[in-house]
Amino acid sequence: MLELNDLRHVYGDGTVALDGVSLSIPVGMFGLLGPNGAGKSSLMRTIATLQTPTSGSIRFDGIDLLADPARLRQVLGYLPQDFGVYPRVTAYDLLDHMAVLKGITVKADRRQTVETLLDRVNLWDVRKRAVAGFSGGMRQRFGIAQALIGSPRLIIVDEPTAGLDPEERNRFHGLLAEIGENVVVILSTHIVEDVADLCPRMAVLAAGRILLDGAPQELIGAMRGQVWRKVVARRDVDDYRARLPVISTRLRGGETVVHVLSDESPGTGFEQVAGDLEDVYFAALSRSAQAAKAAA
């Protein structure tokens, strides 16, 4: 179990990246959803001990991360949003080098680790190619391989499927689902479908604050009977936004569809729908924006 308690992080220029974040994250896949600039990467870097929070505490299986970050690093696997590689270094040699950095100094042990991981992420056939020449999906699979060195108990993946084609995205999902069966895996993303497909628990982060957390199906169920949709002319969207609590505007088959959150029908032409995780996400962001506007 990973426990975050009242985390705050303020950068030197006064920017508040994290504003009282508290979460309990159990074994399995945990989705952290939020728009760009929400503070997701700041939170991931803080958990990964790459930066020290201004205040608050983090504990993982009895480890106090702030008091003993080196101990946490021994059981941590991390795939950052921007995963850099050395040019002209092969996948095998780079993974071997990273295994040394993780403390696997016996050559035979390292060989077994590297070969097993390259096979697990389906990169064995390209092990002699430079990682710098890999496709986006191949590079992300290599990133997972390096994150798995040393059999970590806590794994962080930051925006792992951004830019991947559908085939690579599905392959990556399968890999993450397999990994998340026995360890804590935090999936930080702005892609709602990734969380819907993979995560039995999730949270929404915006402006450095947790807006909601729980099981996706429970969060969706809490909106039952409140989501309405209507196909509208694109030119009328601003008018609907001015008059109604519109939580999202989507394109479906080239048509503009507005989703409204209301206990009763918002008007002629609206139909009630079951709602989905996108509705949960956009409703949370909408309420947060309205609260910020009212406070200002």
Q: Which helix (H) or strand (E) holds 280?
A: helix 277-295
Closest by CA position to 64, among listed 109, 2, 126: 2
Domain end: 165, 192, 215, which one? 215
Residues 165 and 272 both lie in one domain: no
Q: Which whole number is the average pLDDT over 123-133?
A: 92
The SS3 assignment for 73 reads helix
**Amino acid code (one letter) for 50:** L
Domain total in the chain: 2
Which residue's entry shows tokens 């760009």? 36
User: What rounded mean pLDDT belongs to the chain?
Assistant: 91
Strand ranges of the sheet holding 255-261, from the earlier edge strand across to the other edge: 246-252, 255-261, 227-232, 271-273
Residues 231 and 210 both lie in one domain: no
Please state the pTM of the whole predicted model. Answer: 0.89
Check which CATH number belongs to the domain holding 124 and give it: 3.40.50.300
Check residue 238 and give its pLDDT. Answer: 93
Q: Is the pLDDT of residue 171 over 90?
A: no
Check residue 187 and give its pLDDT. Answer: 93
Closest by CA position to 244, among listed 222, 225, 226: 226
Q: Is the pLDDT of residue 47 over 90?
A: yes
Residues 118 and 79 both lie in one domain: yes
Q: DSSP label at 90?
A: B
pLDDT bucket at 167, cuts 50 / 70 / 90: confident
Tell how far CA 83 is from the center of its chain: 15
Domain end: 198, 215, 232, which one? 215
Q: Which whole number is the average pLDDT over 255-260?
A: 94
Residues 208 and 239 both lie in one domain: no
- Residue 122 vs residue 292, higher pLDDT: 122
Residues 43 and 167 both lie in one domain: yes
The percent of residues above 90 in pLDDT, for the chain, comes to: 68
Residues 6+ apart with CB under 8 A from 41: 80, 81, 158, 159, 188
pLDDT bucket at 164, cuts 50 / 70 / 90: confident
Check residue 176 and give its pLDDT. Answer: 86
Residues 186 and 238 both lie in one domain: no
pLDDT bucket at 178, cuts 50 / 70 / 90: confident
Q: Is the pLDDT of residue 52 over 90?
A: yes
Closest by CA position to 280, among listed 36, 34, 68: 34
Which residue's entry shows tokens 């100094």? 105
Domain end: 153, 180, 215, which one? 215
Q: Is the pLDDT of residue 179 over 80?
A: yes
Q: Which whole number is the average pLDDT over 95-112?
A: 92
Full domain range(s) for residue 266: 221-295
Burial of 113 (0-12, 13-18, 19+ CB in 10 A): buried
Residue 53: count other Cβ atoms within 10 Å of its Cβ: 23
